Structure 1
Amino acid sequence: MDTNQYLSVFIDEAREHLQAMNDQLLQLEQSPEDIEIVQIIFRSAHTLKGMSATMGFEDIASLTHEMENVLDLVRNDKLSMSEPIFECLFTGNDALESMVNDIINGGTGSLDVSELIASLNAIVHGDTASAKQEAAAPSADLDEFQYSVLLQTLQAGNQIYHIDVAFRDDCVLKAARSFMVFGILENSGEVVKTTPSVEEIEQEMFDKGFSVYFISDKEASALQNEIMNVSEIESVNVHPLDEEMLQRLHAGSQEAAAAIAEPPAAAEAKAAAVKSQAAGQPAKAKPKPAGAPAASRTIRVDIERLDVLMNLLSELLIDRVRLEQLAREIHRNDLTETVEHMTRVSGDLQNIVLKLRMVQIDTVFNRFPRMIRDIAKSLDKKIDLVITGAETELDRTVIDEIGDPLVHLLRNAVDHGVESRNERLAAGKSEVGTIQLTAFHSGNHVFIEIQDDGQGINRDKVLQTAIRKNVVTQEQADKLADEEVYQLLFASGFSTADQISDISGRGVGLDVVRTKIESLGGQVSVSSNPGQGTKFSVQLPLTLSIIAAMLIRIGEEKYAIPLSSIAETAIVEKSEVRVVHGNPMLNYRGSVIPVIYLDQLLDIPVKSVALSSSMQLIVIQKGDKQAAIVVDEFIGQQEIVLKSLGQYLNNPFAVSGATILGDGQVALILETNALIK
């Protein structure tokens, strides 16, 4: 039997089991005596082993079998959990995830896990010391974020090198020589990753030398010659990386890790040979029993089919609105009753289709506790990650894209937001830092906030860096408010880092974060209190294709405003509007809010000026900010289909899309957040 028909089911279930194992390992680390947690991990590993063996993925089956052996000893009280065991199990889980990702990308799921299996065997036979030593030597040293940065750099046409620097045995001041090497590198490009970490290099906590992943437009030979000019260096190997090599390193390939220590020509020849050999050796596959797929109350549906269903529903809604208008014009009871029934049925159908596309954001959040745990441990920090609102739902297309920006912001919070334990104690804080990851709905948007209780952002330092890098002039800097200063962190290439970090630096790559979020139709902002912490707020649209809106008329044009953005409607006297510093303002319900005349702002043609002494307003809101829009007529509330403006109009101001009305006219949908901003 062909197992390909079960591949998608295997992938989905494997990812679920891996996530469950990861979550339970984190819980077990907090309660190492809880055998019930061990039982849950054991069952997930056992199920994954059986699935993998059936599908012919032998490396996955072998590794899960060895992990199962260790867990079996623990659950039978023959072995106690310890740090080396946790490290081996976490490393094993990472290796399993790499193999499953390889399968997702069309690979065979193969990976050299012999060292890891040896470590697990050592645990089973009681040699936890050697297990710890072997587990400390990972097959690859690139995490998800670093791999993403390097891959984007390669795809942009830039060059990446892996550089190995080895000192002579008689070198006395290795830290000083390392500092000189980094000085050369900083003048030639950007360091993304160091092994060992920068802190360990500064403290001479390494033996022969160190290695770096480096971005530069210089030739490899030129870099090698410059570094070799530093005294007491024995050798320098500058190895260019391509996408295939980078992917193999990220997947944990031992061959790729070994190849970067070879001369480039030899490495390329070896890679070609491996690729050629792999092409002639298809993955083994075993038949899957016919009764394997268990009966279930759920089915997995391709997202493209949901897109087609949504488009068909959108067309149905446009026709429904047209029928409602015709029914009002014809005044036939039987037609009116039929249209009302169609409205109720199509409304229920609409709600179901929209819910089908919504996914809880915990599918993104659930990978962060492990990431925070690993980073905090490497930095010798204690950090609690508090997650709130993980049940918040967001459109699937946004869920798939938001992970990387959140990873970047969280890594910044851990590395440079939260202080070291000694610094926190000296500042009168608890040695345990807190990062709050919160998601919640607000109107037609979802907000994700990342807040730390660290040292905050140094305003003066940001300004000095911005002036030095010609982001702003001194005259402009003197006029900037705090929030405007913090927004400078999102300028392209902006960085305030004092030293190279293998994890992150406050501001490094934040322009990439903003670009990604804005491509999803969202916004990102930052606020900070010195000594108290920093908060990044990400605002994302639900990206619903059908929304409830208020239709209005301004001049001769019709517009739609999402109901989620409207606080209320009102009629006020024109004499109540006052001009403050050239801006029309209105004293409304105890606060002063701006008045927006869209005919002036958007250059809407108006045939005549109304002679009435009063005017109609729509009060819109964004968080705690409000504004009043002057309208000529309220047409009424209606559910509308959100249509993209396509590539012909490039991000018009205050317009998020368009809709087709029942009479065939096109009405633009106003982006009220842009108006308030």
Structure 2
Amino acid sequence: MEGLWQKVELVIVKAILNFLIKIMKLPGCEKQIQALAQILKNNHGKEEIEPFRIAVPDEEFVGEAEDTLEQLKIDLDGLKGSFVTGQKDKEVEIVLRIFRNLHTLKGVASLFGFNQFSTISFTLENYFDALRMDKAKLSLESFRVIGHCLGVLKYSIITRENDQLGKIPDLDDLINQVAALPINPVKAEKGLGAKAGIDEEILNILAEYEEHRLEENIREGNSIYKIYSDFALGSFDDELANLHVQIKELGEIITSLPSSDGFDGNADKITFMILLASKKNLMEITEFLAAFNVRVVQCTDKK
């Protein structure tokens, strides 16, 4: 009976320790975590604690950073391929994905106190923000500088055993290299959404980037559509994501918003309006989405 209670006690102590680790994942808490681990070892023996992994903040950061940097490398290679072959549509999607991943990388580094790592991530994020807003243009020099910065970030993780985790040599030089990349704001006509007949209530809630992409698509002569669909409240997130995958085959999704313009006002359902920019005509859009419970409204014609 005594052995059973010892096992129960061990499970409880492990659960408490695991909880403490989760709420203590802040820079500088490694010693406290290791002290708790030592107490557990002293009370229950090394063989009992061995299967129980103590996750310190450094390990958490390394795991997150390595995964994100790997995806950034893949996307940067894909972006370069699209740039060289002139595939503008693919460029837009990849630039946005890189921007979001850099934003995540910056936040994770800042959370765990790796300020130099965060600073470079933030510098790159700002450059990709300019790219997505068409305030900068890609060049072969852009890829050289960005690739070099990502390589430095990767190296700062590889050398973590030498107490160099997150430390960036020549930090100012890297920042200056990114800052030297040309920023050329494009002076484009504003207010095209309103002129094209897009509802004011939609225009008023678009984020700056969404408004920019809407106007760019109108400027390029693409048609704009509103696609309405009802979803069950309990599963709308998965259903909406699946519909997004299908609609992306037709063009660029500008935004996706809850709408009061539902089909039947069913309280157990929620309606979303998806704003789509596409080179396809209304008949092609409708036929492609025939298998889905959607309603398509054309806002603008191709010019």
TM-score class normalised by the smaller sequence: 0.3 to 0.5
Give 1 or 2: higher helix fraction: 2
TM-score normalised by structure 2 residue count: 0.39
TM-score normalised by structure 1 residue count: 0.18
Give 1 or 2: higher strand fraction: 1
